[in-house]
C-alpha cells in the first residue's frame, strides 16, 4: 500500500525512512475533504439530535468541542515551528521529516476547518463566541481559557518557539513531548474516549465521522513525534554530550502536562455533573494507560516509572476536584465580548 510495498527507486529521498512512510500514508489516506464530508453526510440528523438535548448536555458537548477547535488551531499554527525544528542540525536527516511535517500542517488545518464548519452549522447556540482568530484576537474561547487545555496550548506555543529558534536537543524533546504526547497523544485521544461515551447517549453521526478521520490522521502525528523523540534519546544513550538531558526534559514535560490534561477532563465531566456519562474515572485510567505505553513501552524512558506517573496524575485529580470554573468562564466571556465589539 505504501512505498515500501511497491518500491519505486528514489534519489535523495530515503524511501526506507519511517518518516517517508508516514508521509506517503498522509498523501494516500489524509486526503479527506472536510467540506465534501459535511455536504455528503449533511447537518440535518446532528441538528435534530442537538436541538433535542437538555441544556446541561449541550454544555457538556460545548466544553469538549471548544478545546478541540482551539487545540486544532493551535497545533496547526505551531506546525510551522515543527518544520523548523526538524530541519535543525541536531538531526542526522531532515528531508523526510520536513515532508511529513508539511502533511501534518495541512491535516491540522483541515481539522480546524471541520470543527469550524460543525460549530457554525450545528452548535452555534452554545458558541456565541468562537469567531475571533486567536492570532488576531489574542484569546481562545472562554471555555477553553477556563480549563487546563487553554493553558496547555499557550505553553505549547512557547515551547515550540524555543525549540524552533535555535533550541538544543532537550528543548526540542520538551516541545515534541508536549505536542505529540501531551496534546495529541493524551488530551486528544482522551477526548475521543469522552466523545465515544457521550455518543452513546446522544449520537451525532456527522461529528462522529469527522472524529474518525481526525483520529486516523492523529495516529500518524503521534507516531512521528515518538520517532523524533527516539532519535534524540538514542543520541543521549550513545553519550553524545549535547543530547544529555533529553530524557529528563521528556519526563518533566509529561508531568507538567498531566496537570493540564486532568483539569480539562474534570472540566468536561464531573464539573458539569457528567449528564452524558463521559466518565471521568474512565478517561483518567485511559490517559494513564496511553501515557504509560508511550513513555515506558515505546520510549523506554529511564529514571522514572509508570508508578511515578500515576502518582502525578492522582495529585492532579485531587487538585482538579477543588477547582471551580464558572467565574473564569464569565470573566473570559466578558473579555471576548469586548474584543468582538472592538472588531
CA-CA distance, 60 to 103, in Å (whole number)?
Answer: 32
CB atoms within 10 A of CB 133: 8
Instruction: Spell out, one character per residue from 143 to 182, where the chain touches Fe ion: x when CB under 5 A holds, - when not.
Output: ----------------------------------------
Closest CA to 82 of 101, 68, 55: 101
| 167/185 with CB nearer Fe ion | 185
Q: How far is the CB of 287 from Fe ion (least distance, A)?
A: 17
Q: How far is CA 230 from the centre of its chain?
A: 20
Sign of the Cα pseudo-torsion (26, 27, 28, 31, in order): positive
**Phi-psi group of 166: left, alpha or beta (phi > 0 → left; psi -120 to 50 → alpha; rest → beta):** left
221 touches Fe ion (CB under 5 A): yes
Could you tell me the CA-to-CA distances from 62 to 69, 143, 167, 322 in Å, in that order? 10, 8, 37, 22
Give the nearest distance from C-beta 225 to Fe ion in angstroms.
9
DSSP annotation of 185 reads I
Closest separation in Å from C-beta 214 to Fe ion: 6
Closer Cβ to Fe ion, 211 or 336, answer by number: 211
For the CB of residue 212, give the shortest distance to Fe ion in the complex, in Å.
13
Smallest distance, Fe ion to C-beta of residue 75, A: 5
How far are the Cα atoms of 65, 70, 123, 147, 269 from residue 58, in angstroms, in the given order?
10, 18, 8, 17, 12
Least Å distance, CB 317 to Fe ion, is: 26
Query: 20 and 4 in contact (C-beta within 8 Å)?
Result: no
How many binding residues for Fe ion (CB under 5 A)?
6
Q: In angstroms, what is the minimal distance from the CB of 270 to Fe ion?
A: 26
Binding residue (CB under 5 A) for Fe ion from 145, 184, 231, 236: 184
DSSP state letters, 115-165: HHHHIIIIIGGG-SS--S-HHHH----HHHHHSHHHHHHHHHHHHHHHHHT
- What secondary structure letter does DSSP report for 90? T
Nearer to Fe ion, 21 or 236 (CB): 21
Judged by CB, which is closer to Fe ion: 118, or 336? 118
In 296-307, which positions are buried (b, 16+ CB within 10 angstroms) versus exposed (e)? eebbebeebebe
At its nearest, how many Å lie between Fe ion and the CB of residue 108? Answer: 5
Based on the shown chain and the rule CB under 5 A, indicate whether residue 25 belongs to the binding site for Fe ion.
no
Residue 69 or 170: which CB sits closer to Fe ion?
Answer: 69
Residues 6+ apart with CB under 8 A from 33: none
Helices (H) and strands (E) in the chain, counts: 15, 0
Q: Between residue 60 and residue 119, which ones bind Fe ion under the rule CB under 5 A?
A: 72, 108, 111
Is 126 a binder of Fe ion (CB under 5 A)? no
Report, in Å, the least distance between residue 255 CB and Fe ion: 22
Which CB, 72 or 78, lies closer to Fe ion? 72
Closest to Fe ion by CB, 179 vs 280, is 179
Give whichever of 90 and 111 is closer to Fe ion, judged by the CB atom: 111
Element holding 198 (H helix, E strand) = helix 189-201
> Alpha-carbon distance 241 to 3, whole Å?
36
**Closer by beta carbon to Fe ion, 46 or else 107:** 107
| Footprint on this chain of Fe ion (rule: CB under 5 A) | 72, 108, 111, 184, 218, 221
Amino acid at each position: 500500500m505504501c512505498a515500501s510495498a511497491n518500491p519505486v527507486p528514489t534519489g535523495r529521498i530515503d524511501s526506507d525512512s519511517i518518516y517517508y512512510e508516514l508521509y506517503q500514508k498522509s498523501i494516500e489516506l489524509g486526503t479527506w475533504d472536510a467540506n465534501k464530508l459535511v455536504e455528503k453526510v449533511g447537518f440535518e440528523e446532528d441538528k435534530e439530535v442537538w436541538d433535542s438535548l437538555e441544556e446541561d448536555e449541550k454544555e457538556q458537548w460545548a466544553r469538549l468541542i471548544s478545546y478541540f477547535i482551539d487545540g486544532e488551531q493551535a497545533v496547526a499554527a505551531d506546525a510551522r515551528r515543527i518544520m523548523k525544528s526538524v530541519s535543525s542540525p541536531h538531526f542526522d536527516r531532515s528531508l523526510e521529516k520536513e515532508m511529513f511535517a508539511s502533511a501534518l500542517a495541512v491535516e491540522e488545518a483541515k481539522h480546524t476547518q471541520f470543527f469550524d464548519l460543525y460549530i457554525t452549522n450545528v452548535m452555534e447556540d452554545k458558541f456565541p463566541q468562537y469567531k475571533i482568530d486567536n492570532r488576531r484576537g489574542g484569546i481562545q474561547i472562554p471555555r477553553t481559557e477556563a480549563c487546563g487545555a487553554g493553558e496547555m496550548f499557550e505553553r505549547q506555543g512557547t515551547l515550540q518557539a524555543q525549540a524552533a529558534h535555535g533550541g538544543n536537543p532537550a528543548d526540542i524533546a520538551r516541545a515534541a513531548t508536549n505536542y505529540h504526547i501531551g496534546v495529541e497523544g493524551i488530551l486528544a485521544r482522551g477526548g475521543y474516549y469522552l466523545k465515544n461515551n457521550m455518543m452513546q447517549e446522544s449520537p451525532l453521526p456527522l461529528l462522529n465521522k469527522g472524529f474518525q478521520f481526525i483520529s486516523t490522521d492523529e495516529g500518524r502525528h503521534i507516531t512521528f513525534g515518538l520517532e523524533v523523540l527516539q532519535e534524540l534519546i538514542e543520541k543521549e544513550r550513545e553519550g553524545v554530550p549535547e543530547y544529555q538531558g533529553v530524557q529528563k526534559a521528556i519526563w518533566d514535560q509529561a508531568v507538567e502536562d498531566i496537570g493540564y490534561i486532568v483539569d480539562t477532563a474534570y472540566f468536561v465531566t464531573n464539573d458539569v455533573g457528567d449528564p452524558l456519562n463521559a466518565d471521568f474515572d474512565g478517561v483518567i485510567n485511559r490517559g494513564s494507560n496511553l501515557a504509560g505505553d508511550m513513555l515506558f513501552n515505546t520510549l523506554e524512558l529511564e529514571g522514572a516509572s509508570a508508578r511515578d506517573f500515576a502518582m502525578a496524575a492522582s495529585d492532579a485529580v485531587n487538585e482538579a476536584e477543588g477547582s471551580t470554573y464558572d467565574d473564569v468562564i464569565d470573566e473570559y466571556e466578558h473579555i471576548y465580548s469586548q474584543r468582538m465589539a472592538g472588531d
